[in-house]
Structure 1
Amino acid sequence: MTTTTTPTRAGRREWIGLAVLALPCVVYAMDLTVLNLALPAIAADLQPSAAQQLWIIDVYGFLVAGFLITMGTLGDRIGRRRLLMIGAAAFAAASVAAAYADSAGMLVAMRALLGVAGATLAPSTMSLIRNMFHDEQQRQFAIGVWVSSFSVGSAVGPLVGGAMLQYFAWGSVFLLAVPVMVLLLVLGPRLLPEYRDPHAGRLDLPSVALSLAAVLTVIYALKRMAEHGASPAGAVLLAAGVAIGAAFVRRQGRISYPLLDLRLFRLAVFRAALSAYGLSCLAMFGCYIFITQYLQLVLGLSPLVAGVATVPWALGFVAGSMLAPGWARRWGGGQVLVRGLAAAAAGMALLMLADTRHALAWTVAGMVVMSLGMAPVFTIGTEMIITSAPPERAGAASAIAETSSEFCGALGIALFGSLGTVLYRSTLAAAVPEAGEQALSTLGGAVAAAQAAPGPAGELLLAAARAAFTDALQWTAGVGAVLVLAASLIAARILRGGTAAAQPG
């Protein structure tokens, strides 16, 4: 006779602990957005060179991506709560130092430290949720809150940052993180459980170096290609990063305690969820870079109004994340992935109506449908990823998911950005053969060129540039819809035959 054990349900302590875990995720997302608002003031005060200004923007995201896998495995080894506390303390200290930086070099260094500290947050918080919520329905809801916290941070970041810059110096945008991290340091040890792998081996430093080098090289190459187009230098960098990544993977198969547990990829549920997660990020990031420009430079919205127009996008993520557990109970986790991806594809298809009379309404509707479809993919997909892994490797599994997000987001920006640029240039050159390189390079350049051109010539150039950019948006949205629909079919095929995670809960 077999007996089944009902998982222990979380109580008030765990739910308060979840709120504590959500706060640093909000800050993490805000830190990715608020800096752009402060750049003019930073440039006027510190007078960075062009290269320093790029590094001020980029180094945070680069090092977050580069250290995610390492931090996920390190948390499994030394304790996830301990790593989170160390990361929170480092994040607070680096935020204060960045706020009072007196040189561009110091600000770059502090942004780099913020990136390393930030890499501890996502895998630690996600894997702690795995240990705090054992009931499947409660865990799915908790992960929905976790996903929503990133959406909320992205949405309120520009609003809060803009308000701070209205009344205070640029350093204030960094100080926003300090009280949140202090609160985490005070409440974390009281509310969050500690968990580590009791059989963890030593952290393999050569693997750490290979992982960091591979991630940084590939993401830098993709970013370079997105900004400057395909070039021999970019191709060499990309090939070098892939080669280093291959060496990293080979090493993981030979050591006893790898950073990347290759056995996870043998699990159908893990592969399906990771594929859905990664391809969703690729398409979403690729389309979003065109949406923000379209709202301001084509529809003529002010930055504030354009920001308000993207709020429904964030609210759609919050709503989709909260509804996902109920959908999973009704249809099963696997079906939520498949149907969520199909809905996201429909949202991207709506963006193809952006040149109609009600362009703004269709654009906002497309963003809302897309976010309502993507949010369950991230929520249920994340839950499937971390629960398909052994509990002692939950940190490493969550780090794989986050690294996939960073990689695919960068790849989406590079691929879709390059495609959109080619479409924009060819369409504008055909419509206005005399358009100069400034107008052909970017829509912003075309707006500036049109303002400098005399009367009708400027109006003609501006209208043609806006039409060309709208065409580029429509085509990239169409490609994104096809890609996400393909991801839905891939997930369905991997899960075909039925798995525990794909059945109704």
Structure 2
Amino acid sequence: MSNTSISHNSTRALGTQPGDTAAIAPPREPWRDWLALALLMFPVLLVAVDNTALTFALSSIARSLDASGIQLLWIVDTYPLVLAGLLVAMGSLGDRIGRRRLLFIGSTGFAAVSTVTAFAPSAEWLIAGRAGLGFFGAMLMPSTLSLIRNIFPQPNRRRLAVAIWAAGFSGGAALGPIFGGWLVENFWWGAILLVAVPIILPLLALGPLLVPESRDPHPGRVDVPSVLLSLLVMVPVVYGIKEVATHGLAPAPLAITAGGLLMGYVFVRRQRALMQGGGNAPLLDISLFSNSVFSTAITANVLALFSFNGFILFLAQHLQLLEGQSPSESGVALVPALIATVVSGLLVVPLVRKVRPGFVVAGGLLLSAAGYCLVAFGNHNNGPALLLAALLVLCLGVGSAETISNDLILGAVPAEKSGAAAAISETGYEIGSLLGTAVLGSILTASYQHNLRLPAGVAETAPAGATAQAAETLAGAIELANTLPGPLGAAVTAAARTAFDSGVHVTAAITMVLMAGTAVLAAVVLRKVPKAK
């Protein structure tokens, strides 16, 4: 790409463009804009909390609904599968019918389905309810981010608004397990779902007065085949990645993922054909990816979530299985680092007035690499302090990189396409999270299995099948150790710790190099983006 083209994209990334609906809209009092943002935070918190809170209720659900292991898996997986599959379609729909209208439809539907699902009489009912929540949840996140793009056309105010949006998402994800565990302990699992009603009421009551409507003035006709193709892309890919993360590189999930990628090729071909001819409008403007600022910011977003979720994967196992912490205790241990994500996201807003945004994104990614460096070359045998410190460094990087990359994503596209851009950003969140779990989890598991050396005498003493389970996962090894006599059990735990730590070192070294490389990419490609004014 020429320097002229890059400069043009850079100018677009942090300013308004000719023809933006937000740029020509009548000015509003600033207090109305910030109150609108406060209302938009309610659905953001709702989706973030709902995505993680139910995990700690699974044992209660299993007892209450007599759910099988497969049903419990689908109770967890149905929501993100449907959510990820519909994000692009819903983002485009919001551009067409109005983002505020779609937000209100999604909020009303989410609250209604949550209420019904909270009293589910069977596991099948709960799974269907989770699918409904995914359907309406897909309307919420792209709508909130695209509305922010249009409510705050001025780059500096928009950047702060995006930082607050990201802070709400991170805070909700952190609160989910803690809040969910408290509700289950004091009420019942359905209370987690009922919380949606009071959270969403302020938006429905005050939103029509404070949140302005925005839409693409020339949307074109919806292309139904593209909507179906987007589902055939995202659902198999997300499902395949989750299966790989759970069961390893088996042929079935790899084939499912490959099928989704093939549908992705068909989807892209159709979008290009629709852009060249008349008839229906493309569901996704593929030309957005030709903007180097947009595509690089998306890449930074995906890999920031990749690094974060991969870290949480092995840290949670370390805290609960090797340090003996309960799920709620380990959740509380993560809170300082997650607060750091929020704080760093807010602090970088004024920083980009003195430092080019591309260098801020690159610096955040380098901090993520530094966090993994501490893990790759550190000693994990002296308690969790080192790993928690490394997570703190990583979260400082993720918070700063995410905030600025999201702002670059929104600023790099015309305002009328902000729904589609927000949907792509949200899809990147989902894919990055899943890839972090699947890819790094697979590397960690493979390394653990390769390096595990159980002490002599275990096979003769262990219950039937326990040795095989210990050879597959750390959880299996700790469970085996708890069934053995003291010295032998301690030897199994030590062997499992050594094998697991070796896998963590390998995984951390790979991710450190990946994040450092991405930081260089961001610094080079985004170096022309000017400082904020």
Shorter chain as normaliser: what TM range?
Answer: over 0.9
| Aligned partner of 1:214 among 221, 224, 233 | 233
Q: Distance in 1 between matches of 2:456 and 2:503?
A: 16
Deviations 1:417-447 (A, max 9, x none): 1100011111113777966211111111111
Q: Report the counterpart of residue 526 of structure 2 in structure 1.
A: 495
Q: Report the counterpart of residue 12 of structure 1 in structure 2.
A: 31
Q: Would you say 1:378 and 2:402 are equivalent positions?
A: yes
Output aligned runs, 1:410-429, within 5 Å.
Answer: 410-429=434-453
Q: Aligned-pair distance for 1:13?
A: 0.8
Q: Would you say 1:58 and 2:89 are equivalent positions?
A: no
CA separation of 1:408 and 1:432: change in aligned 2, threshold 3 A: farther
| Aligned partner of 2:505 among 436, 450, 474 | 474
Q: Report the counterpart of residue 242 of structure 1 in structure 2.
A: 261
Q: Aligned-pair distance for 1:502?
A: 4.1
Q: Would you say 1:361 and 2:385 are equivalent positions?
A: yes
Q: Distance in 1 between matches of 2:135 and 2:302?
A: 22
Deviations 1:308-351 (A, max 9, x none): 21001210111011112112111021111111111111112122
Cα pair 1:10 1:134 within 8 Å, conserved: no
| Aligned partner of 1:282 among 306, 316, 320 | 306
Output aligned runs, 1:2-401, within 5 Å.
Answer: 11-256=30-275, 257-352=281-376, 355-356=379-380, 358-401=382-425
Cα RMSD (Å) of the superposition?
1.9
Cα pair 1:71 1:399 within 8 Å, conserved: yes
Cα pair 1:140 1:380 within 8 Å, conserved: yes
Equivalent AA in structure 2 for residue 503 of structure 1:
K
Q: Distance in 1 between matches of 2:95 and 2:88?
A: 11
| TM-score relative to the length of structure 1 | 0.95
Q: Distance in 1 between matches of 2:454 and 2:29?
A: 62
Equivalent AA in structure 2 for residue 152 of structure 1:
G
Bigger CA drift: 58-67 or 430-439? 430-439
Q: Aligned-pair distance for 1:354?
A: 5.2
Q: Distance in 1 between matches of 2:54 and 2:389?
A: 28
Equivalent AA in structure 2 for residue 185 of structure 1:
L
Q: Distance in 1 between matches of 2:297 and 2:391?
A: 22
Q: Distance in 2 between matches of 1:302 and 1:108?
A: 27
Q: Report the counterpart of residue 404 of structure 1 in structure 2.
A: 428
Q: Distance in 1 between matches of 2:325 and 2:229?
A: 45
Bigger CA drift: 251-260 or 60-69? 251-260
Output aligned runs, 1:455-474, within 5 Å.
Answer: 455-474=486-505
**What secondary structure is seen at the aligned counterpart in 1 of 2:218?**
coil
Q: Aligned-pair distance for 1:170?
A: 1.3
Deviations 1:198-251 (A, max 9, x none): 100111110011101110101111111111111222221121111011101110
Q: Distance in 2 between matches of 1:431 and 1:270?
A: 53
Deviations 1:463-498 (A, max 9, x none): 1112221222222122111111111111123234x2
Bigger CA drift: 327-336 or 417-426? 327-336
Q: Distance in 1 between matches of 2:300 and 2:456?
A: 41
Cα pair 2:177 2:328 within 8 Å, conserved: no
Equivalent AA in structure 1 for residue 191 of structure 2:
S
Q: Distance in 2 between matches of 1:357 and 1:229?
A: 27
Q: Tell me, which stretches of 5 or more residues in structure 2 are unaligned?
A: 1-14, 18-22, 276-280, 460-466
Deviations 1:92-124 (A, max 9, x none): 011001101111111100100000111111110
Deviations 1:114-153 (A, max 9, x none): 0011111111000000111122111111100000001111
Q: Aligned-pair distance for 1:301?
A: 2.4
Q: Distance in 2 between matches of 1:125 and 1:301?
A: 36
Q: Aligned-pair distance for 1:194?
A: 0.1
**What secondary structure is seen at the aligned counterpart in 1 of 2:477?**
helix
Bigger CA drift: 142-151 or 455-464? 455-464
| TM-score relative to the length of structure 2 | 0.90
**What secondary structure is seen at the aligned counterpart in 1 of 2:352?**
helix
- Runs in 1 of length 4+ with deviation above 3 angstroms? 4-10, 356-359, 429-435, 501-505
Q: Distance in 2 between matches of 1:467 and 1:411?
A: 25
CA separation of 1:308 and 1:376: change in aligned 2, threshold 3 A: same
Q: Distance in 2 between matches of 1:33 and 1:223?
A: 15
CA separation of 1:456 and 1:74: change in aligned 2, threshold 3 A: same
Equivalent AA in structure 2 for residue 153 of structure 1:
G
**What secondary structure is seen at the aligned counterpart in 1 of 2:399?**
helix
Q: Aligned-pair distance for 1:27?
A: 1.2
**What secondary structure is seen at the aligned counterpart in 2 of 1:429?**
coil
